[in-house]
Amino acid sequence: MLKSFFRAAGISLLIHGAAVAQTLPPTVISVDLKQDQGPLPPIWAWFGYDEPNYTYMKDGKKLLTELSRLSPVPVNVRVHSLLVTGDGEAALKWGSTNAYTEDKNGNPVYDWTIVDRIFDTFIQRGMRPIAQIGFMPEALSSHPQPYRHHWKPGDDYNDIYTGWAYPPNDYKKWSELVYQWVKHSVSRYGQTEVEKWYWELWNEPNIGYWKGTTEEYIKLYDYTADAVKRALPTAKIGGPEVTGPNWNVSAKFFRTFLDHVVSGKNYVTGKTGTPIDFITFHAKGNPKVVDGHVRMDMGAQLRDIDRGFAIVASYPTLKKLPIIIGESDPEGCAACSEDLHPQNAYRNGTMYSSYTAASFARKYDLAKAHGVNLAGAVTWAFEFEDQAWFRGFRDLATNGVDKPVLNVFRMFGKMDGNRVATTRPAGYSYNRLRDSSVRAEPDVNALATHTGKSASVLIWHYHDDNLPGPAAPVTVQVSGVPGKQARLTHYRVDQQSSNAYEAWKRMGSPKAPTTAQIAELERAGQLQTVGKPQLVTVNKDGRIELPFTLPRQGVSLLSLAWD
């Protein structure tokens, strides 16, 4: 009923939206191609998901192929449960590889068949795994039973934390398992390839994902890092993938771990400190249903990032290490569909895509403000095989059809070169958005890049409230353009463009679309342009003015090229 209500509400609001005021006050965004702000690292080219066995399934392979193609750089992929015991059956919040078992005498038995199938799928597409070392094999768990869970939406989330979440019963056997995995990876893929991977330990060890103490996690990290470096001294190892550090419990765990890395006594070597090549933590927003509609909270996510960066920056010897925000999302549970969690009704439509554009731009701003090295921000969203169409999971595609949010990542993939300055007379700074989210006027702003022969300007019209609102008249003024003409291609994600969800609703929301309908939905899910590419005139002072109207929760990418 709730799902039907929100979908119905979305339709009625869209209809009502046609009757509301048509425009907001004009917004002028200035882009100065001569104000180079340095490289714009592709922090968006990072994705992850809970269920590793979806990787090599039909729709999983299709989506991974699309993700690999949207980026000019290798896409990094992070998945859970790579060492979990089981038969490889995929289920919500569950996965297994059976990489480690023991014979009747307690001797290790290694089987890399399923792990290889997962990593082969990545490598064949030019992608790089964030090789998550976890979770605990049944034979190594200090509390193995119960082991396999059967969680489903609506169940207590804590039901997922079973025998795989416990410390090992033998740290030396664990260390040998890690050593053998890294050695096997080098043998299969080559040292040059594996040196590019990120090896990390566990996930969110400050909550139920880890049933040991903080000190036991630190001990496990020491044994893990030692094993990785023994197998491949040039391998990259990091952690601790804590939950959002704006929570004091998480921040305490984070600092305790980093203190140990810097100055603690190593459990394996007895020396001071332990290897770390990159640092990880998570950041999540907090949407709610307010007065019958979904209200996002981007500020909560940015406060997590801000606090995490501040903690890392407080360690002089660690400040310049790469930071990976291992999960960076509007909220916490990808497998919690909108059926039972109506606050997640933002996921199918353009609110998710505009939120993504606006939030990623501010991640860059926060990293610059703290002087830290942000390498990646993992979008914890993939696909859920053989589920109902547009069920409302936090995913990038449904049944092989791309959702609007995926097209924002396609836009990011077209942004080449260095970041350049963008200004507008008023609006949301990253500080204001961090502190108060977007609860007053909409956030209409831009992110821009420049190469010697091109420029790209990403513009979004975002608001936390998923309500209809007037479109924004925008004029983008690009200065520093050489020559007399430039070729403009205008890409768009909104209710009409690059939006398979709205196309599906126009079909009547079929539960079992026909072959022809699926083909139509696949076309609707691709990134589309507003009209055809056109030549625009550069005035005498090297400036181009590009006026257009951007609907609420819409995103535009203006791509300019010249000879």
Catalytic residue list? 204
User: Do the Cβ atoms of 93 and 51 come closer than 8 Å?
Assistant: yes
The 3-class secondary structure across 340-384, one letter per residue, is CCHHHCCCCCHHHHHHHHHHHHHHHHHHHHHCCEEEEECEECECC
Distances (CA, A) of 382 to 49, 161, 405, 443: 6, 22, 11, 27
Q: Record the tokens describing residue 200, joined without a space.
A: 């990390």
User: Do the Cβ atoms of 441 and 63 come closer than 8 Å?
Assistant: no
Contacts of 258 (CB under 8 A, 6+ apart): 279, 311, 312, 315, 318
Contacts of 515 (CB under 8 A, 6+ apart): none
Q: Record the tokens describing residue 550, joined without a space.
A: 């951007």
Q: Which residue has the tokens 């922090």?
A: 43
Q: What's the rounded Cα separation, in Å, for the pair 101 and 109?
A: 5
Q: What's the rounded Cα separation, in Å, for the pair 117 and 123?
A: 10
Q: Record the tokens describing residue 82, joined without a space.
A: 């790579």
User: Do the Cβ atoms of 458 and 493 come closer than 8 Å?
Assistant: no
DSSP character string of 240-256: EEES-TTSHHHHHHHHH
Of 332, 393, 111, give the one whose Cα is nearest residue 209: 332
User: Do the Cβ atoms of 421 and 478 come closer than 8 Å?
Assistant: no
